[in-house]
Amino acid sequence: MIESHVKYEEQYEEKYKEHWDKVLATLNEGDVDKFRPVYLELHPHDQAVFFIEQSEENRLHIYSFLSPDEIAEVMINIELEDIQPYFTEMDPRYASMVLGEMPADDAVDILNQMDKEQVVSFLTIMDKEAAEEIKQLLHYEEKTAGSIMTTEYVAILKSQTVTQAMQHLKKEAPEAETIYYLYVLDDDKRLVGVASLRDLIVADDDTLIGDIISEKIVAVSVAKDQEEVAQMIRNYDFLALPVVDFQNHLLGIITVDDILDVMEEEASDDYSKLAGITETDRPNDNAFSAAKKRLPWLIILLFMGMFTASLIGQFEATLDQVAILAIFIPLIAGMAGNSGTQALAVAVRGLATGDYEHIGKTKLILREAATGIITGTTCGIVIAVVIFLWKGDLYLGLLVGASIMGSLIVATIAGSLVPIIMDRFKIDPAIASGPFITTINDIISVLIYFGLATTFMGYLV
């Protein structure tokens, strides 16, 4: 069975490669009649991959071979951060038509990557109806529900019959992004419920829509943060979520494919902050651009490191009398940093996924404190025994063990507490990045270590 499956995969890959080579051959021949059918036979994702791999000269041929709506399908499958150069190399009129053929929310995302002059130019050339739809979405603040919603949905009236609703659905379906949910409005255009396509199919033709709708509808405000919207779709397993204004008028919908993009964007953003980078550092950035993104946090951490060094300098007398203390500084600081980063990762993830709302922040902080006590005590005992066997000095072992125990307990609590405090003050918790919390814990561990060493100096000399 396994051998049969492997053989099938090999045959599929071989057939796929042959088709890919055929597409490339027809493109190089410049024969539009041969190219179009073999290229459009590819899955849209594969069309985008093929397109990206071509030279600019070949891409210009592809633009001339395909219609704006066909290229729009290709553009939808390209990563947002990589897409702007393609619109720059297109003829402006052709590019404006491509944007007009794309779902409005995707077009807005692309235009937000461009400067104001380019946006105005494209909107001026574009079809008037498409331009108006895009302009409406451009007005919403970035990273809100309004900025990621689409206006291509199907809405029906509560007073309609199933037959009237189905006729309306057939008319609007070709332009709608999804038809699985039909949003039901009252006579004042306010959202009052939702009906599924299944509801319409199984109901009698003369049944009123108001009799079959579900009024337990979950909607989001147009100003709601996109990360919170993503959390709602994740919690409720929706395919789409309606967006309303303060009077409950339906403005648009957010589909699950848009939320997947949001989740990827937010994850990349959080990862960058956890790594101590102000913006997402991409592989195709040049060295200057990458350095520009990394330097701000590095400069801040440099000065924090200088503060740590100055703290150690305050205990110079202690080090002069017991020089062996110096060799355990990296061990204690490193252990505190590691423990703090572990707690930080748990806290940031809990805030991002909404786990804290269900369990409670206080309970999780107490759990992390208990975890710090257990891990700190265990590591402290282990290192105390190791140092006693290594150096034959019981007091030195107890000092280092107690320092590690105290440092791990404080670092674990700090790692979980700092992002929660930042979240309370509406600051992105990911800013409490790994390098930041590590440096903070370096300072704490140095104070604990040398504070204990100075206090119990008489036992060490």
Digit-coded pLDDT (tens) for 337-356: 888 878 877 777 777 666 66
One domain for residues 130 and 159: no
The top-scoring range by mean pLDDT among 13-17, 68-72, 308-312 is: 68-72
The answer on pLDDT for 412 being more than 50 is: yes
Cβ–Cβ < 8 Å for 321, 457: yes
d(CA 213, CA 194): 6
Confirm whether pTM is higher than 0.85: no
Where would I find the beta strands (DSSP E) of 287-346?
none
Which tokens go with 16?
Answer: 């796929």
Which is higher by pLDDT, 398 or 17?
A: 398
Instruction: Find how far residue 348's CA is from the centre of its chain.
Output: 13
pLDDT computed for residue 434 by the predictor? 61
Into how many domains does the chain fold?
3
Same domain, residue pair 304 and 435: yes
Residues 96 and 208 in one domain: no
The model's confidence at residue 70, banded by pLDDT at 50, 70 and 90, is very high
The pLDDT of residue 382 is above 90 = yes
Q: Kindly state whether residue 276 falls inside one of the protein's structural domains.
A: no
* Residue position matching structure tokens 């814990």: 441
Identify the pLDDT of residue 5: 45
Q: Binning pLDDT at 50, 70 and 90, where does residue 286 land?
A: low
- CATH classification at residue 192: 3.10.580.10
Distance set, CA 6 to CA 12, 13, 65, 240 (Å): 10, 11, 37, 38
* Closest to 347 (Cα-Cα) out of 319, 371, 379, 312: 371
8 A C-beta contact, residue 252 and residue 153: yes
Give the highest mean pLDDT range of 7-16, 260-269, 305-314, 417-426.
417-426
End-of-domain residue from the set 122, 144, 166:
144
Residues 319 and 351 placed together within one structural domain of the fold: yes
* 290 pLDDT higher than 80: no
**Mean pLDDT (the chain, rounded):** 83
Q: Yes or no: say if 446 and 309 are a contact pair by the CB < 8 Å rule.
A: no
Same domain, 44 and 170: no
* Residue-number span of the structural domain to which 410 is assigned: 287-460
Distance CA 12, CA 280 (A): 37
- Residue 281, in any domain of the structure: no
pLDDT digits 0-9 by tens, 126-149: 988 888 888 888 888 888 898 889
Q: 356 and 428: one domain?
A: yes
> 441 versus 101: which is more confidently predicted?
101
Phi and psi torsions of 291, nearest 5°: -65, -40
Whether the per-residue pLDDT at 284 is higher than 60: the answer is no
Q: In percent, how much of the chain has pLDDT > 90? A: 31
Per-residue pLDDT band for 249 (boundaries 50, 70, 90) equals: very high
The C-alpha atoms of residue 276 and residue 295 are separated, in whole angstroms, by: 9
On the question of pLDDT at 242 being above 90, the answer is yes
According to the model, what pLDDT value does residue 1 have? 47
Q: Residue 272 has what pLDDT?
A: 55
Task: For residue 441, name the pLDDT band (cuts at 50, 70, 90).
Answer: confident
Lowest mean pLDDT among 249-258, 263-272, 318-327: 263-272
Question: For residue 40, what is the domain's CATH number?
Answer: 1.25.60.10
Tokens of 304: 């924090």
- Cα–Cα distance, 404 to 386 (Å, whole number): 13
Instruction: Specify whether the CB–CB gap between 213 and 221 falls below 8 A.
Output: no
Q: Average of pLDDT values for 403-430?
A: 82
The CA–CA distances, whole Å, from 237 to 57, 146, 230, 413 equal 44, 20, 10, 34
Which tokens in the block code for residue 407? 């440092």
Residue 348 lies in a domain: yes
Give the pLDDT confidence score for residue 432 in this predicted structure: 54
CB distance 251 to 265 below 8 Å? no
Same domain? For 160 and 108 the reply is no
pLDDT tens, residue by residue, 224-240: 988 888 888 888 888 88
By the 8 A CB rule, do 243 and 222 touch?
Answer: yes
pLDDT above 80 (res 384)? yes
- Residue 193: pLDDT band (50, 70, 90) is very high
Model pLDDT for residues 44-60, shown as the tens digit of each residue: 899 999 999 999 999 99
Helix (H) and strand (E) counts for the chain? 23, 6
Query: What is the predicted pLDDT for the residue at 96?
Result: 93
Rounded distance between C-alpha atoms, residue 126 and residue 96, angstroms: 5
Q: What is the CATH number of the domain that holds 305?
A: 1.10.357.20
Residue finishing a domain among 123, 144, 165: 144
Over residues 442-451, mean pLDDT: 86
Mean pLDDT lowest among 54-68, 277-291, 331-345, 398-412: 277-291
| Beta strand pairing call for 240-244 and 220-221 | parallel
Centre a 10 Å sphere on the Cβ of residue 265 and count the other Cβ atoms it contains: 19
Please, are residues 267 and 230 in contact by the beta-carbon 8 Å criterion?
Answer: no
Residue 30 covered by a domain = yes
The rounded distance, in Å, linking the Cα atoms of 30 and 46 is: 20
Question: CB–CB of 186/158 below 8 Å?
Answer: yes
Band of residue 6 on the pLDDT scale cut at 50, 70, 90: very low
Higher pLDDT, 400 or 261: 400
DSSP structural state of residue 244: E
More confident: 103 or 299: 103
- Asked if the structure places residue 370 within a domain, the reply is yes
Residue type, 132: E
CB-based burial, 58-86: b 16+ in 10 Å, e otherwise = ebebbbebbebebbbbbbbebeeeebeeb
Per-residue pLDDT band at 271 (split at 50, 70, 90): low
User: Which among 255, 277, 299 is the end of a domain?
Assistant: 255
| pLDDT for position 455 | 84
Quick one: 299 and 448 in the same domain? Answer: yes
Residues 159 and 194 reside in one and the same domain: yes
Residue 267 placed within a domain: no
pLDDT of residue 207: 92
Asked whether residue 329 falls in the same domain as residue 442, the answer is yes
Average pLDDT over residues 378-383: 93
Q: Does residue 224 sit in the same domain as residue 323?
A: no
Q: Is residue 280 pLDDT above 60, yes or no?
A: no
Is residue 294 predicted with pLDDT exceeding 80?
no
Is 70 exceeded by the pLDDT of residue 414? yes
Question: Rounded distance, CA 437 to CA 444, Å?
Answer: 10
My answer on whether 8 and 33 are in the same domain is yes
Contact between 112 and 142 (Cβ < 8 Å): yes
- Answer whether residue 34 is part of any domain: yes
Q: How high is the pLDDT of residue 115?
A: 85
Whether 94 maps to a domain, the answer reads yes
Mean pLDDT to the nearest integer, 21-40: 91
pLDDT value, residue 137:
86
Exposed / middle / buried, residue 196 (Cβ in 10 Å: 0-12, 13-18, 19+): middle
